[in-house]
Chain A
Amino acid sequence: MSVKIADVIIIGSGIVGSSAAYYCRKKGLSVIVLEAEIIGHGGSSRNGGGVRQSGRDARELPLAMYAVKHIWPNLKEELGVDPEYMQKGYLVCGYNEEHKRGIENRIKVAAAAGIEMTLLQGKDIQEVNPYVSEHVTCAGWTPSDGSANPLTATLGFYKRARELGAQYYTHEVVVKLQIVRGSVKRVLTEKGNVYEGSQIIVAAGYEGRNIIKTVGLDVPVYPRLVDVIITEAAAPMFDHMIGGMSGFYGHQTNHGSFVFGNSTGREQTLGCYADKLYSTAYNPAFICNTVGVDIPALKPLKIIRTWSGWIDMCTDGVPVIGEVKDLPGVILDIGSTGHGFCPGPAVGQTLAEIANGEETSVDISKLAYERFDYATKSKKYYA
């Protein structure tokens, strides 16, 4: 039985796990990253690439905003890999009263946090994007939002963390955590390997829930399958992120292809298994239709691939991030509920700061594990 020891053991090699590894190394902490499959296997490589502050619950806005302001613009030089970050705005389209109310709500939340977001109507919409159909009557426009390439961003953090000496092991499935003298100290894997660290970061998406159960922790997180489509490369049409109140979201990538996601909500029960990441039969058609209604110019483009991914949905819509009071040694990031990409590097930095015993740069108090301790929603977290 081999025991490998490091200051920090990170479970999960996605954008959060790998950025945490990178920031830990920069702070001089030794790091071992354990990945159940291959680097960035989970949501980090499957999402639609939105780097978006608007449309978020206020509790996770500080992380999203910090990432947009301090991290995303510098990543290309910092990592030596181009994450294709573009800050060209986000246009979310609506075509009925309900949509308009939804947009107005988002504007309110954004304004409270100091994010510029305006309501566009009529011809103003086509000023921003001439390809949007005239049947779109209202839109929310957030100039400071944007997009990036989740694949290269995640692999970029991995490459850089590895260069700085983070030790990565793939196909290492964690089966349990172990408490030693009151602190979570050990990680046991399916292969019988043991890893020991002063801090154990769990950033493994939905699988994190099964892992933390082994030390008597749980979070109200359930998996939801969604699909994404990607087209062939097209001539550049627009460079802002675009979405619909009908649920679709996406953008035109550096490569020229368009990537879009959406979900019918049926995926849980029809045509897919809990443990298999198969594309479903319904979502692609649904994505095509919702996108096609708002951006008809895209209808003749050819889809060349679809894929699916698991979203770890937290019941109150935002993740659990941070330490667990009175159970030292474990630091959590679970339940990003489908919008973990943009704040991802900021979450990674936060976890590294916690591991290093520092004050965090971003306030994550509202995302605490303890907010689910009681039925009554505590004002501490839900005000």
Chain B
Amino acid sequence: MKRYHVIVIGAGPAGLSAAIEAASHGMTVGLFDENARPGGQLFKQIHKFFGSKEHKAKIRGFRIGEELLAEAEKLGVEVHLNSTVMGIYFPMNKITVSNGESTTSYSGNNIILAAGASENAIPFDGWTLPGVMGAGAAQTLMNLHGVQPGKRILMVGSGNVGLVVGFQLIQSGCQLEAIIDAAPKIGGYGVHAAKVARTGVPFLLSHTIVRAEGTESVTGAVIAQVDEYFQPIPGTERHLDVDTILIATGLTPMSKLAEMTGCDMKEMGGKVPVVDQYGMTSIEGLYAAGDVSGIEEASSAMIGGRIAALAAAAKDGYIEQNEFEKSYSDYQSSLEKLRKGMFAKENRGKTLAVTDEGLPISTNLLKHGFLDEEEITSYPGMTSRQGIHPVIECTQNIPCNPCQDACKFGCIQVGADITRLPIADVKSECKNCGMCVAACPGQAIFLVEEDCGDHMAAVTLPYEFRPLPEVGEKGYGLSRRGEEICPATVLNVRLNPVFDHTAILTIQVPKEMAMRARFYRGSRKD
């Protein structure tokens, strides 16, 4: 039975990063994943990541997966794909692995469990009908298999998964009828919600799904408003004409492998292994990293994987104590940068009234997914001046700063604390290169020329839909809530490889719409 210095179970962001870290210290690494492609959730993620450069910000998830895999292979990590770990047996540190044809066993001086999480389901009347599925499943269908999950969709859940997949549904040509959430406010990032809202999708907070209708498959949904105990209020039922209901109500760590080892477990929205600050469980040599030890996201999973592998390397004498402490400290501060801001663990469940800067947090954004007209001038990214200038509609403290790096002319500042709201520097001159518009993972940056003559204004916006509009075509400018508010003419469509598939669309709108028009829709061909 082959014995590795480190076995890593799961080749997602945490697992790949752990494998890379271990191999970089000279340890032999066996990396096992049940899928045909490594990358875990990364391969379905077509959106650009947040964070900063060290966290691979503004790079699309699947490319991060490709980069990590290449790095792992270069370092000599033995990657076993289509290899399902069937069981894990301590104290022999043994795993049995099946490839669909046969079963083999391996052992490891260290085992790092990075098996990720799976999506939750919620039972309701009719939930067993075809057409009800997890949002993650729909994402796999669309992004890996090019299949629409349905035609008219109801999304249940407004956390980042619901919002991100919601946007991808629109990109795939599906009709997203509504996003509902039993909570009174949107759970995910405001910018993710805004991307969806500006296409016209309504958000219905304090609503729950009561029933899926249909006999052979979903033909409709009944939703209702809920009270403060999340119970449906009689008489508020509404019918939605949908054929697909997607559930995005959270993830649960896939910690069954950990349980099998007998390590200490604790309840945290599902059972998770108890780990110390290095990711080590109560069994020496057994570590857990990434979503399997607690749901966060890919960026923190990557660092968590590295920390666990670093700890294993130090334990087994591959690095000196002072080198270990230095590296650990660096990783830990990188991790802490991600764990700050409005969506940090310590703020979960809290309703914050102001940002770190003392500015009011938009309640309209939290309730409806878009900023109200009155609110837009209070944020440092949204200034008004002559000439073309960036308007950064980023109003929540999230660790993210690719906008700052994108502008070579100093127009956008975030600073050392990457959770600060970006500031539009009124003294710098905007060159209209469009880099900031493309770089913003939240698609929250616009270039606005408030007065380009003839009572017209020009708004440049990020456009991630196909087919691209044609220059000169006439259509409508849509408000932040997706209402057609004015006629619009397409002045320019830029698609530069450096924008990484985000088209930069410039539309001409009436002057008074400069700070209102934020999306474009072509005329319907009647």
Chain A residues engaging chain B, CB cutoff 8 angstroms: 270-271, 276, 278-281, 285, 306
Contacts and interface: CB of A to CB of B under 8 A. Distances in A.
Interface size class of B (residues with CB under 8 A): 10 to 19
Interface string B276-316: 00000000000000000000000000000000000000000
B92 A270 contact: yes
B262 A271 contact: no
Contacts of A280: 89
B87 A281 contact: yes
B262 A281 contact: no
B307 to A, nearest CB: 29
Q: Is the interface of A mostly helix, strand, loop or mixed?
A: loop
20 contacts: A270-B92, A271-B89, A271-B91, A271-B92, A271-B94, A276-B262, A278-B89, A278-B260, A278-B262, A279-B87, A279-B260, A280-B89, A281-B87, A281-B89, A281-B92, A281-B94, A281-B96, A281-B105, A285-B103, A306-B87
A89 to B, nearest CB: 33
Contacts of B96: 281
Contacts of A276: 262
Contacts, number: 20
A285 B103 CA distance: 9
Nearest to B261: A278
Main DSSP-derived SS at the B contact region: strand
Nearest to B105: A281
Contacts of A285: 103
Nearest to A281: B89
Of A276, A278, A279, A285, most B-chain CB atoms within 10 Å: A278
Contacts of B92: 270-271, 281
A67 B91 CA distance: 42
Interface string B462-506: 000000000000000000000000000000000000000000000
A279 B96 CA distance: 12
A382 B96 CA distance: 46
A277 to B, nearest CB: 10
A279 B89 CA distance: 9
A243 B94 CA distance: 30
Contacts of B87: 279, 281, 306
A273 B96 CA distance: 19
Interface in B229-261: 260
Nearest to A272: B89
B435 to A, nearest CB: 53
A276 B87 CA distance: 16
Contacts of A278: 89, 260, 262
A376 to B, nearest CB: 43
Interface in B82-117: 87, 89, 91-92, 94, 96, 103, 105
B94 to A, nearest CB: 6
A278 B262 CA distance: 9
Given A271-B92, A281-B89, 9 more contacts: A270-B92, A271-B89, A276-B262, A278-B262, A279-B87, A280-B89, A281-B87, A281-B94, A281-B105
